[in-house]
Chains A and B, each alone.
Chain A
């Protein structure tokens, strides 16, 4: 069975602080994808990144960066110089190939990030 754990239920920071959202996953599959989605107060789910299990290179996109470590089954997300607009619920998700897992995303419980001005 697949599982995604986001240990931080809520994080509160002040604008311009850096913040890291943790994600730990479990899967028996050797080929899988990891994702991060953002859910702002308006409710929609916004795709942020997809990373496959073969690629452990860290990725940076503007103020966002992701650290994938297969050895610790972690896929952490860092926001540098946070802004009020970053306030949202962030979900980490896992998708594998094969069996009944084929195609579906398994989501963590989400981390509520609040950035105060």
Chain B
């Protein structure tokens, strides 16, 4: 158990819908990262937050957004969902934004029908 929690574990929804994925980092970790794992693209970095502020952005679609709250938990919002958004979404956390020893949560498996 990495200490990073993600909810829900599985999510099945329809095209055009909007979903929110939630992540709680390990105790003491200030930085949260979101990654997407799909068969086509492999593991791709989406976005990073550090202590509530966006720190780095990767291949994140405009339909996707994220935020980190004062209690350090983070949410990833996916809207206007398409079939191709079906993937495993991981959250990871680390002590700071440079340390980079990232510990991953169990992931949320999103299926868009």
Contact = CB atoms under 8 A, between A and B. Distances in A.
Interface residues of B, number: 28
Contacts of A44: 2, 104-107
A66 interface: no
Size range of the interface on A? 20 to 34
Interface in B87-113: 88, 90, 92, 97-98, 100-107, 109
A71 B101 CA distance: 24
Contacts of B18: none
Nearest to B35: A105
Interface of A: 33, 35, 37, 43-47, 50, 91, 95, 97, 100-110
10 contacts: A33-B100, A43-B88, A43-B107, A44-B106, A47-B103, A50-B100, A91-B43, A104-B56, A104-B58, A107-B42
